[in-house]
């Protein structure tokens, strides 16, 4: 949505509405049961994810963050965590022995793979780096996203993954730009 709005208020209005509505579903069990979310602890992620989108939108609109760095973070959470949750739940027999919500090895592998692929696709469309740089950055982002997702407690990955991955992608862009300037100076 960031691509289509020229006013920050329009861009953050959707996530703000979702923070409010999802809070109702999570914190009021009778409302949450309507959509099948009776477990408040597990579903705080419903509130965290649109909140993280608000932060990313603000960072992009304030000019402190490259748009494609935010896109990488959103895709890591939306696609990476989404597919990891579905496939991990359906087919993941072996759980990771951490107290972070019963995450599975299969889900973590799916998260890794999807984040690498989605990051590479985004970098391919939005970055003028070489193939090797795009690939290495995508692998680093995939590994980082998977690790953050595994160690984040129940639902908190919905805020930690997009924010951390976005900052990492933005940092990688900054390092690339810095090195290019240094090469030009030399």
Give the CA angle between residues 118, 48, 51 to the nearest 5°. Answer: 85
For residue 139, the Cα-to-chain-centroid distance in whole angstroms is 15
143, 70: one domain: yes
Closest-CA residue to 29 (of 45, 12, 41): 41
* CA–CA dist 139, 115 (Å, integer): 8
Domain span at 58: 1-64
Query: Where is mean pLDDT largest: 2-11, 14-23, 57-66?
Result: 14-23
Domain boundary at 15, 34, 64, which?
A: 64
Which residue pairs from 59-63 have beta carbons closer than 8 angstroms and sit at least 24 positions apart in sequence?
59/166, 60/2, 61/2, 61/8, 61/11
166, 128: one domain: yes
Residue 161 to residues 45, 91, 130, 165, 181, Cα–Cα distance (Å): 11, 23, 26, 6, 30
DSSP secondary structure letter of residue 79: I
Residue 23 to residues 14, 33, 39, Cα–Cα distance (Å): 14, 13, 12
Mind listing the pLDDT tens digit for each residue in 53-107? Answer: 999 999 888 887 888 899 999 999 999 989 998 998 899 889 888 876 778 899 9
42, 99: one domain: no
* CA–CA dist 127, 60 (Å, integer): 16
82, 29: one domain: no
Q: What is the pTM of this model?
A: 0.86
Q: What is the overall mean pLDDT for the chain?
A: 86
Number of domains in the chain: 2
> What pLDDT is attached to residue 186?
58
């Amino acid at each position: 949505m960031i691509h289509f709005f020229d006013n920050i208020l329009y861009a953050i209005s959707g996530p703000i509405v979702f923070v409010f509505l999802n809070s109702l579903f999570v914190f009021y069990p009778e409302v949450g049961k309507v959509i099948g979310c009776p477990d408040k602890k597990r579903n705080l992620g419903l509130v965290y994810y649109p909140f993280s989108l608000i932060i990313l939108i603000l960072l992009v609109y304030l000019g402190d963050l490259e748009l494609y760095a935010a896109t990488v973070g959103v895709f890591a959470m939306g696609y990476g965590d989404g597919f990891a949750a579905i496939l991990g739940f359906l087919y993941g027999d072996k759980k990771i022995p951490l107290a972070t919500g019963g995450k599975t090895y299969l889900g973590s592998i799916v998260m890794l793979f999807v984040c690498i692929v989605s990051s590479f696709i985004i970098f391919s469309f939005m970055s003028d780096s070489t193939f090797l740089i795009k690939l290495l950055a995508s692998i680093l982002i995939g590994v980082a996203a998977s690790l953050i997702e595994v160690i984040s407690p129940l639902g908190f990955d919905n805020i930690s993954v997009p924010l951390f991955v976005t900052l990492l992608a933005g940092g990688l862009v900054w390092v690339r730009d810095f090195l290019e300037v240094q090469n030009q100076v030399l």
